[in-house]
Amino acid sequence: MSTCRRDKMHEDYELLLKMTPEEMAVRILDKRRLLSDQISFIKQGLEESVDELQEKHDKILVKYNVSKKNGINPEKTSKIKDEWDSLREELKEMKTQLKAAIRINDESEKAISYWARRVNEGTEELDYDNPDLLRYAKDVRSGKISREGKRSKQRGKGGGKK
Amino acid sequence: MKTGRRKQRDFLYDDLIDLSTDEIYAIHAEIKNKIAAKVKEHDKIQQERQELVEFNEEVRSILMSPRSPEINDLISRLNIARINRENAEKLRNELDSRVPPSPNDIIESLKQRHKLLWTISNRIQENPTLDEEIELFESYFEYQAMYEVAIQSDEQQKIWTQSINEKNSVMKELRIHDLKDIDNQKINQLKDKYPKKVIGWKGVEESSKQIIELDEWSQSWKIERRSLVMEIMRLESFLSIEGRKAKKENLKIKSGEVLEKAETGESLTLDDLSALISTGDIGKITKNKQNKTGRETKNGNKKSKRRRSKTKRGNTRSKNRTREEDGND
């Protein structure tokens, strides 16, 4: 491995291992705010795309059914089918994205207020519904078994690694 | 496809169906004899193993006893290496059970979590929900803590490897000295006790190798024994099923004879009745009897259902009972 690459890897490791909970919470809040500003535009764009694709899809479906029923030109039918398949895939993907955009839009306010509270009040336990975000990390540092360790034990593979 | 593989059974007994009971008993006896022979062999091997262990212990105790300062130093180094190895192994296992992933795996998990928490994905559906974000946040810092533990485990692994290397190098030197400065009387005693053995490190190594071989034999016998016992159980269960079937057939024949007896009016013994009950043919007698007696038996077997003329207390049954009182509506 070249020295340059090793240095870059070391930097990455440092970044990952030295990241503090405060830095992370601030970053998530910023990200959420940015998303909140943009999500309505994203959603609108996706809605338009879905409508457009749906229209194309419905048209091609009619075309395919007619061609299939006539059965005159099988080559043409197969070409239309390929087109229909790819459109269907595209439409499916777009609909999934739209669904996700709606979800993000709906919970945006709640997420921003959650992370803003964490930035202002810290990652410790705030109330019954907001437990300490570092409780698992504290458990591991105090010598307790990690959640991964518990899962591994349950699978009957405790200690088997490396 | 390989043809040498054992034919797989469609169901548990399909290879036994065509065999006679005597043949199955013969197979059963053969397996039992095989087990008995192997058990004897196993006992002999265990005895042999015990002797080898005793030999090793005795020779080792002499080889590891205090001698010249140079050898004493080597022996103390060997003991330290052993203690270090045991401690490192224990600690490493404990750390591994707390944190199973390796440091590299942890770094990979941190990278994935960092990406999801830190950046906005172009594929909008890949952005986590709030609940997922919280879980990712918690696990991110748990993984950071796990990394520290995994590194400690790696350090113990290094100590363990160093201890093994140290042990090997010390053993190399000890082998050179072998029986040097050891009391001749002790060596002669051992030679008398074990005339066929080489007294010294070479002998210990040979015995250790033999012990490993014997342990391997025992291990494979353990597996073989389990399969042989299972086979015996399978044969016995098949024989038991066949036995029950034969018994049932006998009873059927007998019940036919008893039915004839009953029809001719002969008296039946308790055994006869038992055969009829077991085969379920007891009903046939009644049927036959009914056919014969016809009108006579139509009411004859019925028990009188006349009520006793006793005054009953309580409310009379009225026509105005509710649906709930009727219960079965």
**The pLDDT of residue B311 is above 90:** no
Give the phi and the psi of residue A127 in degrees, each rounded to 5.
-160, -170
Which chain B residues have a beta carbon less than 8 Å from that of A139? Answer: 142
The residue ranges of chain A whose pLDDT is under 70 are 1-6, 157-162
pLDDT confidence tier of residue B327, bands split at 50, 70 and 90: very low
The DSSP output letter for B38 is H
pLDDT confidence tier of residue B151, bands split at 50, 70 and 90: very high
Structure tokens at B253: 């024949």
Mean pLDDT across B68-96 = 94
pLDDT of residue B282: 74
Is B309 or A118 the better-scoring residue by pLDDT? A118
What would the pLDDT profile of B51-73 be if each residue is shown by its tens digit? 999 999 999 998 888 888 888 89
Structure tokens at A37: 């500003």
Mean pLDDT across B118-125 = 91
pLDDT confidence tier of residue B265, bands split at 50, 70 and 90: confident
Give the phi and the psi of residue B200 in degrees, each rounded to 5.
140, -175
pLDDT confidence tier of residue B298, bands split at 50, 70 and 90: very low
Name residue A19's amino acid: M
Structure tokens at B201: 């490190």
Q: Where are the alpha helices (DSSP H) in A3-20?
A: 3-18
Among B91, B142, B149, B160, which would you mutate to test the A interface (most chain A Cβ atoms within 10 Å of its Cβ)? Answer: B142
Most confident of A14-28, B171-185, B243-257, B276-290: A14-28
User: What is the residue-wise DSSP string for B155-212?
Assistant: HHHHHHHHHHHHHHHHHHHHHHHTTTT--HHHHHHHHHH-TTSPPSHHHHHHHHHHHH
Measured CA to CA, the distance from residue B105 to residue B90 in angstroms comes to 22
Measured CA to CA, the distance from residue B276 to residue B254 in angstroms comes to 8
Measured CA to CA, the distance from residue A46 to residue A96 in angstroms comes to 10
ipTM of the complex: 0.85
Whether residues A137 and B123 touch (CB distance < 8 A) is answered with no
pLDDT of residue B287: 60
pLDDT of residue B9: 58
What would the pLDDT profile of B13-37 be if each residue is shown by its tens digit? 888 888 888 999 999 999 999 999 9
Structure tokens at B205: 């190594």
Mean pLDDT across B203-214 = 96
Task: Please state, for a pLDDT cut of 70, what percent of chain B lies above it.
Answer: 83
pLDDT of residue B308: 52
Residue A140 burial by Cβ neighbours in a 10 Å radius (0-12, 13-18, 19+): buried
Q: Are B63 and B198 in contact (CB under 8 A)?
A: no
**The pLDDT of residue B300 is above 60:** no
Which chain A residues have a beta carbon less than 8 Å from that of B129? Answer: 103, 107
B93, closest residue in chain A (CA to CA): A159
pLDDT of residue A157: 53
Measured CA to CA, the distance from residue A105 to residue A35 in angstroms comes to 9
Q: How near does any CA of chain A get to the CA of B122, in Å?
A: 10
Is B320 or B46 the better-scoring residue by pLDDT? B46
**Between residues 129 and 188 of chain B, which touch chain A (CB distance below 8 Å)?**
129-130, 133-134, 137-142, 144-149, 157
Helix (H) or strand (E) holding B126: none
Beta bridge partners of A127: A130
